[in-house]
Structure 1
Amino acid sequence: MNILHTIASMDAKAGGPTTCTFDLATGLNALGCRTDILTIASGNRATSSIQAPFIKTVPFDAKTPLQISRHCRHFLQQNQQYDLYHTNGLWLDINHATCAAARKFRKPCVLSSHGMLYPRALERSFWRKKLILSLGHRNDIASATCLHATCQKEMEFIRTFGYKGPIAVIPNPTPPVKWIDTIIENHSLKRIGFLGRLHPVKKADKLIKAWKQLGNKVADAELILMGEGTPEYEKYLKGLAAECKYGHITFHGFVNGKAKFQELANLKVLCLVSDFENFGMTVTEALSVGTPVIANTTTPWKDLNTHHCGWWINATVDNIAITIEKALHLSDKEIDSMSIRGKRLVSDKYAADKVAEMMATLYKWLLGECSKPEFVYE
């Protein structure tokens, strides 16, 4: 079968949906499920894009507020060999054009909303999204053959939005770490980490405030923030960090590839304290190199408690401080046990090859080649 994924950007710094789409397509192709990705070149020449033979990049022409791309639409009209279409994200013309092409050619269409139908996500730019829905995007969602959710909570919000068709609950893939044999794990260091966009919704400020609250209890520890944000927000975070009298707080900027995994492997624990997170790829990335994770209960990471490889907490400043203190006082033996359990969780449930097999099975079902999978809810 021939599958076409579409996504607005494959920029290296574009975030979770880009990484997930690439990793999924890589896994599907490895299974023999021929999968291409259609995307639009970046309008920023300083931004690098992920490259692969199966990525079909059209020239950038998405200059209007709705990012309408004639090149994207032309590709969809001229390349009709695909058996199934799978679009990633909402609100942009590439998503609408993909759904329209699937309807025109009478092919199945899967839509991965990537958390964009969560109430908090819908509240952002509410009036713009309401207008976009009225311009055909609501019909795109309603008429999609199947929606893809990464967790049960996302499925619930998709139902609340009003979608009545099948929903496949399939987690995001975690690819094997290419450099796993060269990465040296050291979880005995008193280093607490944050990895992600430096954006208000990620709540790195709460982490810094918790660090300040701990005072001399973190005098010999280090808080590392990895990621980039707007100059204004980074300035705000660095101002908060300057108020902390004890411990070290360092900003490492954007990290990727082997450097990212080596940084994760040198942490005692990683913190994901976002107000909202659909999945949180940094969690599986950290667990894959044996680093326990502290995650907010507003993220879908109850597995951290269930599998005893981290802490799933109501991430108030007080609770973050209490949990960091607890983590810093764990023995090396206790951390090693959590590390083993975290790696096992990723291997058993979130490994890219297993996720790709689930998605390939979904495609076969939608094409009438097998019975309904157990992870599809109607």
Structure 2
Amino acid sequence: MLKIVHIVPTYYPYQSGGSAYSLYRLNCGLKNINKVVISEGIKKKKKNDHITHDLNHKVFFHNRFSFFFINRIVKESKKADAIQLSSFFFPPNIFAFIVAKVFRKKIIISPRGEFFEYALSRKKKQKEFFIKIFNLINISSVFHATSEEEIELIREKITSKKKSIIKIFNSFDTEFNETETRLNQFLFLGRINPIKNIHSVFNVLKNTNDITFLIAGEANLPYEKEYLIFLKSEIKRLHLQQKVIFTGKIHNEEKYKLIARSRFLILPSHSENFGNVVLESLSQGTPVIASKGSPWSILENTKCGFHIDFNKEVEIKNSINSLMNLSENDLIQVKKSCRKILENFSTHTINKQWEKLYYSKLL
């Protein structure tokens, strides 16, 4: 049986964001492939404790750079048919690179937007050094991208001759189908991180009436906490205390109820390689205003939202006004269009593409 070893910063059920949960859904669907996941995460009472999701799907959590983490990477990777990484710059990857070079293992790498300019600007020298080392080692690798722009960025940064690039979307299915009454509110859902550019809507919001902006997420890293402080200071400076509400992080059914109650969702990020939250919103028939830094031009083509420049207040204002003024009949049509888009991202469809990659001559 084919064996894939995943080395990841986070994985379900601990500390998992959109990309980690997307990988979890993929692994749950591939029943006939042996998956071993090695993740930084909760410290276990016993060093060999692990979570078994099914017979061929096990997850080991270790402290980063602990002996057990490194030993697990080397031990499992040597026996694998391929090593799959859900981050390019995750420091423990260096051990996967060494194993791949010495034992001639193929590597699949999902940078998850890490090569976008804004993402590279943080710890820039460290990341440039990591890229140089990878290009020098010249490992046989397959890079996984979720947009055409990300493909071009990978080509630009990774000069190794032994690479190929394939585009596969993230998968999405939801068991929730909420029928909440739409309120005069719109929603941001995700990490409170500077790259998300949440404050870009504040000036427009200042000149609107009877509308509430909900920010659903949390700040964990030091620079995220600094950004949260900045957001709160801007809200106070612009006198938006009655218009902007922080809900904290929300989960599962409550998250989808909040989406279903909102007029629309915004994704104002400086850059996004995908944006799982867009699919979460569309699943509830809720349109989306996404930034030009995301790959969601399809929103306008299908009349499910807008794809705008969040540096231009007039574009933000016009798109907000358009979605706030949708009639009930308009919302019914939007919901139908949203469901149509989701067919392209079903787990069944995406898993077939991954199976094709795993069994292809690329690996």
Letter in 2 for 1:340: K
Matched, 1:85 2:83: yes
Greater CA drift, 247-256 or 271-280 = 247-256
Match of 1:298 among 288, 293, 301: 293
Could you give the per-residue CA deviations for residues 35-58 of structure 1, whole angstroms, max 9, x where no partner exists? 23221224799xxx9984524224
Residue number in structure 2 paired with 1:112: 110
Cα distance in 2 for partners of 1:167, 1:75 equals 28
Match of 1:125 among 123, 130, 141: 123
Matched, 1:284 2:254: no
Q: What pairs with 1:331-342 in structure 2 (closer than 5 Å)?
A: 331-342=327-338
Greater CA drift, 95-104 or 150-159 = 95-104
TM-score by length of 1: 0.83
Could you give the per-residue CA deviations for residues 22-43 of structure 1, whole angstroms, max 9, x where no partner exists? 22222223xx333232212247
Alignment root-mean-square deviation, CA: 2.6
Match of 1:17 among 16, 19, 24: 19
Matched, 1:252 2:253: no
Match of 1:236 among 230, 236, 239: 230
Percent identity of equivalent pairs: 23
Given that 1:69 and 1:94 are in contact with CA atoms closer than 8 Å, whether structure 2 keeps it comes out as no
Matched, 1:146 2:142: yes
Could you give the per-residue CA deviations for residues 192-237 of structure 1, whole angstroms, max 9, x where no partner exists? 111111122211111222211x33xx32x22111111244432332
TM-score by length of 2: 0.87
Could you give the per-residue CA deviations for residues 232-274 of structure 1, whole angstroms, max 9, x where no partner exists? 4323323333434696321111112221112111111000011
Match of 1:57 among 28, 35, 60: 60
Cα distance in 1 for partners of 2:128, 2:240 equals 47
Letter in 1 for 2:125: W
Could you give the per-residue CA deviations for residues 275-303 of structure 1, whole angstroms, max 9, x where no partner exists? 11111111111111211100011111111
Aligned length in residues? 346
Letter in 2 for 1:314: D
Q: What pairs with 1:1-378 in structure 2 (closer than 5 Å)?
A: 1-10=2-11, 12-29=14-31, 32-42=32-42, 52-53=53-54, 54-60=57-63, 62=64, 68-79=65-76, 80-134=78-132, 136-139=133-136, 142-163=138-159, 164=161, 165-174=163-172, 176-180=173-177, 183-186=178-181, 188-212=182-206, 214-215=207-208, 218-219=209-210, 221-229=211-219, 230-242=224-236, 243-244=238-239, 248-315=243-310, 316-347=312-343, 349-366=344-361
Q: 4+ residue stretches of structure 1 with deviation over 6 A? A: none
Could you give the per-residue CA deviations for residues 344-363 of structure 1, whole angstroms, max 9, x where no partner exists? 1012x111221111011011
Structure 1 gap segments, 5+ residues each: 63-67, 369-378
Structure 2 gap segments, 5+ residues each: none
Cα distance in 2 for partners of 1:51, 1:262 equals 30
Greater CA drift, 297-306 or 228-237 = 228-237
Q: Post-superposition shift, 1:320? A: 1.1
Given that 1:109 and 1:146 are in contact with CA atoms closer than 8 Å, whether structure 2 keeps it comes out as yes
Q: Give the match's secondary structure for 2:144.
A: strand
Structure 1 residues 289 and 144: alpha-carbon distance in aligned structure 2, compared to 1, 3 A threshold: farther
Structure 1 residues 37 and 261: alpha-carbon distance in aligned structure 2, compared to 1, 3 A threshold: same
Letter in 1 for 2:168: I
Q: Post-superposition shift, 1:309? A: 1.0
Given that 2:235 and 2:241 are in contact with CA atoms closer than 8 Å, whether structure 1 keeps it comes out as no
Residue number in structure 2 paired with 1:376: none
Q: Post-superposition shift, 1:367? A: 6.5
